[in-house]
Amino acid sequence: MIRGSEDLRRTHSDNIDRIVTHRLLGPCIMLGVLWLMFQITFMLGAYPQGWIEAGFKALSALGTEYLPEGYARSLIVSGVIDGVGAVIGFTPLICIMFAMLVFLEDLGYMARVAYMMDRVLRVFGLHGMSVMPLIMSGGIPGGCAVPGVMSARTLRSPRERLATILTAPFMVCGAKTTAYLMLVAAFFPGNPTQAMFFVVLAAWAFVLLVSRLLRWTVIKGESTPFVMEIPPYRLPTLRGVAFHTWERVWQYVKKAGTVILAVSILMWAVMTFPQLPKDKVDQFEAQRQEAVAKVKADNPTASEEDLAKLTENATKPIDDEQHDVALQNTLGGRIALALKPATDLAGFPWQANVALIGAFAAKEVFVSTMATAYSMGEVDPEESEGLSERLAADPAWSLPAVLSVFTFMLLYTPCMVTVVAIARETSWKWALFSVFGSMSFAFVASVIVYRVGLLFA
Amino acid sequence: MANGIRVAVAGQPNCGKSTMFNAITGGSARVGNYPGITVDRLEGTYRLDGHEVHLVDLPGTYSLTSYSMEELVARDVIVDEHPDVIIDMVDATALERSLYLAVQLMEIGAPLVLGLNMMDEVKRNGIIIDCDKLSKLLGVPVVPCTARIGKGREELMQAVAAVAKERGGQWKPIRLSYGPELDPTLAQMTAFIEEKQFLADRLDARWVAIKYLEADEQVMAKGRARDAATSETWKSCASRPKPIPASTVPPLRTPSSPTGATASSTACSNRA
Amino acid sequence: MVISMRKMAVDQPGRIAAITASGELGRRIRDMGLVPGTEIMIVGRAPLVDPVAVRMKGFTLSLRNKEADSIDVEAL
């Protein structure tokens, strides 16, 4: 019935695999592929990201120009446009990265990666097939834990699957990447790539360690059989890749369209209200008038221009102080200050508290919230040089504090949408465990990092 | 066939099943939900001679023994929903292994159409498959396909229509011999199950017996839920056959199965 | 000569003599077609020696060494 088939002949795929899964070349090729994906994503993605951000900036400018000053304008420009704009700007990168991952998966390469990684991942209680969900969640910076967690369905064992799902949010997802890029520009301007590299390394390390801990304690049990087919290499069809990529990207975009929009609005509100009472505002105004008068008095012979500049310099500290006081008066500010006693243990500057609270709902808003906290007004998150400089200038951000915030940001609770995804994939019990567990773990880790950092500082 | 024909598209992982499903259903594919489970239910339609055919794309599964949630869904849809016809997509480059699922489907009596996919690769490797002979041996229509370019789609659906007409949605389980050691016990258990009408409204009695012999957790759980006492009786029935070294089992002799060896060795070495 | 699959060398062909695995592992192994009488050939091992890739019945399967331990092969 079948003629010409000699089962035990090596196929082309097997021969290719001699190299692709070779003892030395295999891992090298794998790392090379990962690095290449990272480069392509950020290089190619920079273009559409730039266009989108330019578009939103223009929109922002239009809003500022045409909308009457007041809450509505502030809400729409600072809250909605800036907040959502950053997210939409990141979508092309997500598309590109997922397209490449899907291509590699349809090609059959991801099966080889699982095959090569299994020995290592197994030591930590995971499974070779955990690799895809972990990479998708941000094993290479970028990505998103929502489709990542959902893709863990391919893991046949409930235990390894659960461990993968619970640790995937530690990875450096796209949102965290934007936050880290801004922070790295502020505090490690000399070697940003190196800094990012260490962050990613730390993410993987934590994923593996926590997974091991979980599998020793809360998710005990034997590891599942690895018996897995290694499919022959098959060139993916364009339609197939497009369809599968769209599936994943859609999961991310849905979140962007809904949650982040809502959160941006919420954060705006929380950081605007309640406003400073009138008498305080008057006080500051009086201070400003005094300063202006003083400048005039001190410089009777100065030109219009010089006068304007001197005045600006004189009133700036007053403006900043007013902003800080106003912010501390808002709901967001009050919560941040209320948490201060605890966060002081970990050395967080209080503005970071506000940003981290907002980031719980969606980590994308970290940068825009920080910008607001540092009274950057209508500055867009991409031009974070301004923000980065301000952060660098703030003495509250000592090196131990920086490292502590970095640690916390990496490990603390998954964003709201991810929590929902985890609940759907497993159960609300595990989703809540994820929230409280990672929050405590992150806090303890940051405190340790901070205290140890202080010893060396 | 009255209004819709219900078709399930099954197959092992990596066989191009979903590609064929998309080729058949075109833009009509919709993603739905299985209640309480996070596996997506992919459904679509196809117009055939004025009939509307409803298709469900099942998750890939290597056999009707389920190891993951997805495989369980595949099995449950087949066993619980009793589709009118099942299309089993098969990777023609790994025919022998791929037919394992087909034989299992035949065993439980599903009206089957076999789609031999990746025929382009088969041809490229210089291999020739005699589809007619395969079809005669199995007693099931066999359609060569290359899902990647949509080839075989119409022929597949024509075969589906023919089978639907011929069987009228009837499932005719086949009795495969599991060797001299197990057959008597199986017969006993089957009779017992039929007598008690245990799970028999939906499932074939002999299949249930086999699952108990295999210590299939899901089927046993269903059984326990229905009637704990009876369930315990069969568990002890199942533990009666003595273990046998696989090498002494003669190759399976059935009227139509070329993959005899697979089925017999699986069943016999279950007791361990 | 019958040896455990774990001990086979790359490119070595063999025929499966017995499966000693039980429970879920046993079923999985058999479901994939690894049954006595099947001809196989080792086509590779992962960089860290574990898992092993086996060619059989027209496709390639991978399994961990611990799992391969439960498969006895007659070297050809």
- List pLDDT tens digits, range A70-83: 777 777 776 677 66
Between A273 and A206, whose confidence is greater?
A206
Long-range contacts of A45-48 (CB under 8 A, 24+ apart): A45/A92, A45/A93, A45/A96, A45/A97, A47/A92, A48/A92
Report yes or no: A26 at the C interface, CB cutoff 8 Å: yes
Does A307 reside within a domain? no
Binning pLDDT at 50, 70 and 90, where does residue A442 land?
very high
Report yes or no: A230 at the C interface, CB cutoff 8 Å: yes
Amino acid identity, position B18: S
Please tell me which chains touch C, using 3 or more CB pairs under 8 Å as the contact test: A, B
Q: How much of chain A exceeds pLDDT 70, in percent?
A: 93
Q: Identify the segments of chain B with pLDDT beneath 50.
A: 1, 241-272
Q: Beta partners for B47?
A: B52
Instruction: Give chain A's domain count.
Output: 1
Report yes or no: A115 at the C interface, CB cutoff 8 Å: yes
Binning pLDDT at 50, 70 and 90, where does residue A430 land?
very high
* ipTM passes above 0.85: yes
d(CA B208, CA B186): 10
Mean pLDDT of A275-298: 83
Mean pLDDT of C51-69: 89
Q: Check: CB of residue B12 under 8 Å from CB of residue B62.
A: yes
Sort strands B112-117 and B142-144 into parallel, antiparallel or unpaired: parallel
Structural domain containing residue A69: 12-268
Helix A83-107 × helix A261-270 angle, to 10° = 150
CA of residue B215 relative to chain centroid, distance: 19
Q: What is the DSSP letter of A137?
A: I
Is the model's pLDDT at A337 over the cut of 70?
Answer: yes
Between B269 and C63, whose confidence is greater?
C63
With a CB cutoff of 8 Å and minimum separation 6, the contacts of A148 are A133, A134, A135, A136, A137, A138, A168, A171
Amino acid identity, position A346: A
Select from A1, A156, A231 the Cβ nearest to the Cβ of B134.
A1
Which among A114, B94, A156 has a CA at the least distance from the CA of C51? Answer: A114
* CATH number of the domain located at residue range(s) C2-75 in this protein: 2.30.30.90
Q: Check: CB of residue A453 under 8 Å from CB of residue A404.
A: yes
- The least confident of A263-277, A433-447, B139-153, C37-51 is A263-277
Which among B178, B172, B258, B244 has a CA at the least distance from the CA of B211? Answer: B178
Name the CA radius of gyration of chain B, rounded: 19
Between B143 and A264, whose confidence is greater?
B143
Q: Check: CB of residue A132 under 8 Å from CB of residue A105.
A: yes
Between B180 and A348, whose confidence is greater?
A348
Mean pLDDT of A397-426: 89
Report chain A residues whose CB lies below 8 A from the CB of B129: 1-2
Binning pLDDT at 50, 70 and 90, where does residue A437 land?
very high
Identify the pLDDT of residue B271.
31
DSSP chain C: -EEEGGGPPTT-EEEEEEE---HHHHHHHHHTT--TT-EEEEEEE-TTS-SEEEEETTEEEEE-HHHHTTEEEEE-
Between A104 and B216, whose confidence is greater?
A104
Is the model's pLDDT at A214 over the cut of 90?
Answer: yes
Mean pLDDT of A374-395: 63
In chain B, % helix, strand, coil (3-state, to 5) comes to 50, 15, 35
In the B/C pair of chains, how many CB contacts fall below 8 A? 59
pLDDT tens figures, A138-191: 988 888 898 899 888 888 788 899 999 999 999 998 889 888 988 888 888 888
For A299, B7, B22, C29, the CA distances from B88, given in Å and listed in that order, are: 91, 10, 15, 22
- Residue A425 to residue B128, Cβ atoms within 8 A: no
CA of residue C15 relative to chain centroid, distance: 9
Identify the pLDDT of residue A134.
95
Is the model's pLDDT at A256 over the cut of 50?
Answer: yes
Give the strand order in the sheet containing B30-33: B30-33, B40-48, B51-57, B5-11, B85-91, B112-117, B142-144
Identify the pLDDT of residue A454.
87
d(CA A194, CA A190): 9
d(CA C24, CA C4): 20
Identify the pLDDT of residue A165.
95
Identify the pLDDT of residue B256.
32
Distance of residue B66 Cα from the nearest chain C Cα, in angstroms: 9
Its pTM stands at 0.81
Identify the pLDDT of residue B247.
35
Select from B38, B137, B148 the Cβ nearest to the Cβ of A237.
B148
Is the model's pLDDT at A378 over the cut of 80?
Answer: no
> What's the length of chain C?
76
Does A108 reside within a domain? yes
Identify the pLDDT of residue A200.
92
Identify the pLDDT of residue A32.
92
Report yes or no: C28 at the A interface, CB cutoff 8 Å: yes
Report yes or no: A160 at the C interface, CB cutoff 8 Å: no
Identify the pLDDT of residue A446.
92
Identify the pLDDT of residue B262.
35
- Residue B94 to residue C37, Cβ atoms within 8 A: no
Written as six digits, the tokens of B179 are 């060797």
Please report how many Cα atoms fall inside a 13 Å half-sphere around the Cα of residue A297, on the Cβ side. Answer: 6
Report yes or no: B29 at the A interface, CB cutoff 8 Å: no
Is the model's pLDDT at C75 over the cut of 90?
Answer: no
Select from C13, C29, C61 the Cβ nearest to the Cβ of A229.
C61
- Residue A150 to residue B93, Cβ atoms within 8 A: no
Name the CA radius of gyration of chain A, rounded: 25
Binning pLDDT at 50, 70 and 90, where does residue A7 land?
low
In the A/C pair of chains, how many CB contacts fall below 8 A? 94
Is the model's pLDDT at C19 over the cut of 90?
Answer: no
- Residue B38 to residue A153, Cβ atoms within 8 A: yes
Written as six digits, the tokens of A38 are 């990272």
Identify the pLDDT of residue A333.
82
Between A57 and A437, whose confidence is greater?
A437
Please tell me which chains touch A, using 3 or more CB pairs under 8 Å as the contact test: B, C
Is the model's pLDDT at A445 over the cut of 90?
Answer: yes
Select from B93, B100, B269 the Cβ nearest to the Cβ of C33.
B100
- The least confident of A405-414, B241-250, C38-47 is B241-250
Is the model's pLDDT at A87 over the cut of 80?
Answer: no
Distance of residue A320 Cα from the nearest chain B Cα, in angstroms: 51
Does A395 reside within a domain? no
Chain B residues 202-261 with CB within 8 Å of chain C: 214-215, 245-247, 261
Is the model's pLDDT at A125 over the cut of 80?
Answer: yes
| Surface-to-core class of residue B13, CB atoms within 10 Å of its CB (0-12 exposed, 13-18 middle, 19+ buried) | middle
Report chain B residues whose CB lies below 8 A from the CB of C21: 272
Which among A45, A96, A99 has a CA at the least distance from the CA of A244? Answer: A99
Q: How much of chain A exceeds pLDDT 90, in percent?
A: 22
